[in-house]
Structure 1
Amino acid sequence: MTKTWHRPTLWLAVVMAVGAVGCAVALLLDGRVLQGSSVWAKPLKFAVSLAVYSATLSWMLSLPHKGRRWTSGAATTIAAIMFMEVGLIAVQASRGMFTHYNTSDDPLNLVLQFTFGTAIPAMFLANVVLALVLSFQRFGTRDVRWAVRSGLWLAVLGMFTGYLMVFQPGKRTTAVDAEGRSVELVTGHSVGVPDGGPGMPLTGWSTTGGDVRVPHFVGMHGLQVMVLLALGLAALGLAERVRTRLVGVTALGYLGLLALLTWQALRGEALIHPGGTTWAALGGLVVVVAAGAGWALRSGTAVVSPVRQPVPQR
């Protein structure tokens, strides 16, 4: 059976890659800023992230499995909503307006906020459907199968952390957009500090307080990490049993890291300024994962032995 990549997600990856280049050019030519960052920084980051994510989905759905109608339908829904989401973000960037948390009564903004409020939950549910269907399918080798399953659920959890940005009761900020218009922003991604403060290069993640975008990003791209791990372990020639156990250990460790980053963000602690409690939790996680990796490598023959050819008798 010839493997065929899922076309809607593959085309989305291409469109997002081209869009990322366009946003990068616009970022260099357009000097307007929103809360200290280029108006084109947000669509650029979304385009790059979703190009990687959709390409992974496209490859993943090429693996022979049952329930293709369900998985293809869910992935097509995801692709359509992702395309719409980045398109709307780019439109708002061109207008110099905030995309998320924007309470402006501008007609287009009101339509955008309503669209986001209905489409994003639909995309989240489509990812849940995809993870559920593939959780009960046999495809590929055991290590690839568990890498895909765990990666999908990590991505779902990462997407779920995005709702923590929406439900920050009482957080309201008055900001000025790129065109000088005063806008009230409700909720936000920073915890303990206003959005738009000092941030890390490229990502813009807060350096003075918690930032829910950190676990959101890390969780969403757990799928790519797990798939690349499985492919890398296979390239090393490790036995399937060992590869499967290493995938399992990594998935649990990644889940622990996601929980730790979420906990850190909600405590209002910046990613690059962890306190003693965070360091202790991270150290414990590293020890547990290292012990698990050691157990996996000692669980049997680590490397697949080459097949010996019989010696011809003279």
Structure 2
Amino acid sequence: MRIPLSILDLAPIARGETAASSIAASVALAQRAEEHGYQRVWYAEHHNMPSIASSATSVLIAHVGARTTSIRLGAGGVMLPNHSPLTIAEQFGTLEAMYPGRIDLGLGRAPGSDQNTMYALRRNPNSADRFPQDVLELQAYLAGETRVPGVDAIPGKGSDVPLYILGSSMFGATLAAALGLPYAFASHFAPQLLEPAVAAYRREFKPSAQLDEPYVIAGVNVVAADTVEGAQDNLAAVRRNLAIGLFGRGQKLTDDQADELLAQGAGQHVGQMLTHTAVGTHAEISAFLDGFRKMADADELIVAHQAPTTEARLRSVTITAEAMDGVPA
């Protein structure tokens, strides 16, 4: 049995494409993942980002759920300080009622946005300080054990939607351990603290009603293609798109201009983000992911399939599943 594989779908809006085409691509990606035995597909909450279409995370999950049959779907994650715990309990309780046994709820405390967007969201700049308490309040709504007298999440009460703590620092690791929840590390873009965070989580883990033993999901990028040369070409396109998204935001830049950004310093930042990236065809992908799993001490890998086109991402999903079929958990 292979190590559990999942997908983090960043719902990218490629240059020249629309939100509608991005959402259609997310449906196709989830269907392909379901076909090839992936565990789950998660969508990340981001705001005010021209290249990402997953801001209304629960709405996207509902849309994809109606077009798939068995794969788990969820948030990776909902940025809880942007919302009231009751609202999220109602949203994900509704999703669980629609798609029983298929819904996950990953929680993060980052804004998923910049300062002006935080204002537009009506978010209190100090709201992240309440994250641990908000997680407990949300968990209680879903368990039917409200912490606010007379207030229940309907739908949501008693749904016990499983919670996951997301993070890229020691804070998330120690919180997940203290609450006895699974921990998902964002090593697909913030690799620096992966090993010490996972070690701390496993060392400090306390069993809970949801989870008896620690469970680690590690994020990793994959650029898989039918040839190594094709994968390298796709990686070059991904690097350009990241440079534009991070340092040329709102501008319509050519490939040459993107390459200039990379040469002027964006390349170092993008390279650091892509530290944990498998590139190639079946042999290279299986070798890298097997080594990464061991290094990360992960129970499950959640893959961000990086490619410039929908067709290339779909092919990457297939190749990765085939490559890992012979790699034991």
TM (normalized to structure 2)? Answer: 0.24
Bigger helix fraction: 1
TM (normalized to structure 1)? Answer: 0.25
Report which of the two structures shows the higher radius of gyration computed on alpha carbons: 1
Higher relative contact order at CA 8 Å, sep ≥6: structure 1 or structure 2?
Answer: 2
